[in-house]
Amino acid sequence: QAQLVESGGGSVQAGGSLTLSCEAPGYMYRGCMAWFRQVPGKEREQREGVAAIAAGTRTTYADSVKGRFTISKDNDKNTLYLQMNSLKPEDTAMYYCASDSCPMDPLWAPGYIYWGQGTQVNVSS
């Protein structure tokens, strides 16, 4: 069972920033790594794709986070990051990192097999 471990979640006021981290085995960085988020009432398959990064540096972002969130990875540390700036209350969710061979749509949750346990982000107004 692949191990992905997220950290960095917490509570912040609107306009603030958080940086999420995801530690994963090194071989996973040969495929796609992505961040998703899930709010109560949504199923796993309905997790919203936030950002993805391929084995090179190609990145994909959801329209809702473009210009505010930045995905990056440190291959030496086997760590994936999500820098979140200008946070909004609607960004409140459980955030998950995921890994798999790159699906056609890198922000499509069913395209990923390996998932972490999630880290909660709460943004208050």
What is the tens place of the pLDDT at every residue in 46-71?
Answer: 999 999 999 878 999 999 999 999 99
What is the tens place of the pLDDT at every residue in 90-115?
Answer: 999 999 999 999 888 999 999 999 99
Tokens of 31: 């495929």
> What are the residues whose beta carbons fall under 8 Å from the beta carbon of 68, sequence distance 6 or more?
84, 85, 86, 87
